[in-house]
């Protein structure tokens, strides 16, 4: 009985929203390989979620709990955290990854577009942080929260006022939450992906990759390994920051060579004649 209690205390756990595919899946697999017990959430993505859960269980040795739910519902944050506590006993890591990209010129902005994005991309992470942090404080184990934002939080694009604006808001909110929770040993940070392959590879992805300074498009594993490091003791003195993971995508700024692109341009090698 004592050995079982010790095992529960030592076991690391993670709640990952939007964990069925893409970046969420990449983070889940990285944490699973490090031995975390994991619960993932999804919305109307049963097949992919079940497949990811099987992979997680194989890597971690722990059953992966899958929860289907619509995080636009404010009560769903409470229900999600409650189930995570019921199943895993405690939450060491919260990854707020679930979100959607919806784009529109401000002159044509639909109200439903605005409400949908605000509820899922900003309100849901805030409510999940509220619920999870209360549990982390009560458990007295410290903890980590990572909000997945985007390079759109740092660079403006046409039609991007809502998505980019809310990602910027979540980045700023993260900084305040980091201060709120630092007395309890809970670290709160952001990861800002850019140019990440989250669907099946197509020729367009290789074309985009060639325009990125590091010469390739990113993959979910890139984000997963960064998240694993950020929640580890190796990053124990880090809170309230944003780590941009985009291969240098947004560094060059606007194109200078006349190409009709926004935010990046192909970097040509320097030649001495």
Read off the pLDDT of residues 60-73 as tens digits, 9 standing for 90 and up.
999 999 999 999 99
Determine phi and psi for 244, rounding to 5 degrees. -90, 130
Q: Give whole-number Cα distances, 117 to 21, 78, 103, 136, 152, in Å.
A: 19, 19, 10, 27, 14
pLDDT, mean of residues 176-195: 97
Contact 234/173 with Cβ under 8 angstroms? no
| Residue-level pLDDT at 238 | 98
pTM of this structure: 0.90
Pick the more confident residue, 95 or 264: 95
pLDDT, mean of residues 213-229: 96
Rounded mean pLDDT of the chain?
91
Read off the pLDDT of residues 90-104 as tens digits, 9 standing for 90 and up.
999 999 999 999 999
| Residue-level pLDDT at 259 | 53
Question: 272 pLDDT exceeds 50?
Answer: no
Retrieve residue 106's tokens. 């401000």
Domains and CATH numbers, the chain: 9-245 (3.40.50.720)
| Residue-level pLDDT at 4 | 53
pLDDT, mean of residues 110-134: 98
Q: What count of other Cβ atoms lies within 10 Å of the Cβ of residue 168? A: 17
If you write DSSP's letter for every residue of 170-230 in order, what string do you get? HHHHHHHHHHHHGGGTEEEEEEEE-SB--S---HHHHHHHHHSTTSS-B-HHHHHHHHHHH
| Residue-level pLDDT at 44 | 96
Read off the pLDDT of residues 191-200 as tens digits, 9 standing for 90 and up.
999 999 987 7
By annotation, the residues acting in catalysis are 150, 163, 167
Q: How far apart are CA 125 and CA 123, in angstroms?
A: 6
């Amino acid at each position: 009985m004592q050995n079982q209690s010790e095992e529960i205390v030592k076991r690391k756990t993670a709640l990952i929203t939007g964990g069925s595919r893409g970046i969420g899946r990449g983070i889940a697999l990285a944490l699973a390989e490090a031995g975390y017990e994991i619960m993932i959430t999804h919305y109307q993505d049963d097949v992919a979620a079940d497949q990811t859960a099987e992979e997680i269980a194989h890597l971690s040795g722990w059953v992966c709990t899958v929860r289907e739910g619509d995080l636009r519902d404010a009560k769903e944050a409470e229900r999600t955290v409650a189930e995570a506590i019921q199943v895993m006993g405690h939450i060491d890591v919260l990854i707020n990854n679930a979100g959607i990209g919806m784009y529109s010129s401000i002159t044509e902005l639909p109200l439903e577009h605005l409400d949908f994005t605000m509820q899922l991309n900003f309100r849901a992470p805030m409510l999940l942080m509220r619920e999870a942090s209360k549990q982390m404080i009560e458990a007295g184990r410290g903890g980590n929260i990572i909000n997945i934002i985007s390079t759109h939080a740092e660079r403006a694009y046409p039609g991007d006022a809502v998505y980019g604006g809310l990602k910027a808001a979540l980045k700023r909110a993260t900084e305040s939450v980091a201060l709120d929770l630092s007395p309890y040993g809970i670290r709160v940070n952001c990861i800002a992906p850019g140019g990440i392959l989250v669907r099946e590879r197509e020729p367009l992805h290789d074309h985009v990759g060639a325009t990125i300074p590091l010469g390739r498009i990113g993959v979910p594993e890139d984000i997963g390994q960064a998240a694993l490091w950020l929640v580890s003791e190796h990053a124990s003195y880090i809170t309230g920051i944003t780590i941009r993971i985009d291969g240098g995508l947004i560094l060059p700024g606007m194109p200078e060579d006349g190409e009709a692109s926004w935010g990046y341009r192909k970097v040509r090698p320097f030649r001495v004649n």
